[in-house]
Amino acid sequence: MNRSAFTMKLKKGFEAEYKLRHDNIWPELADLLAEDGIREYYIFLDQETGILFAFMKREPSNMKLSIKEHPVMKKWWNYMKDIMYTNPDGSPMITGLTEVFALNSTEW
């Protein structure tokens, strides 16, 4: 299982809306993420800066089409672009993070 983490940035004043939209995630988006091998996905918010920290665990994908090209993903990005900083294609601006330490109690 692969682990990855990245940051995104939320526009000021949209903290509650961001949470609401994710509390009501579309079933077709949840299905797409699962189909892409994502088994765990967490997003945390730094209230002071608007920085979103995301962490996921993902198995190798069996998808024929890149999730970034999937119509459901593009629809979600369009839905979220009014409250987040995005790239010209509508995808969220992300900064990938490098894992430098891991501690797993099951390995002790």
Among all residues, which ones are annotated catalytic? 22
Kindly write down the DSSP assignment for every residue of the chain, as one continuous string. Answer: -EEEEEEEEBPTT-HHHHHHHHHT--HHHHHHHHHTTEEEEEEEE-TTT-EEEEEEEEPPP--SS-GGG-HHHHHHHHHHTTTB-B-TTSPBP-EEE-------GGG-
How many of the other CB atoms lie within 10 Å of CB of 91? 17
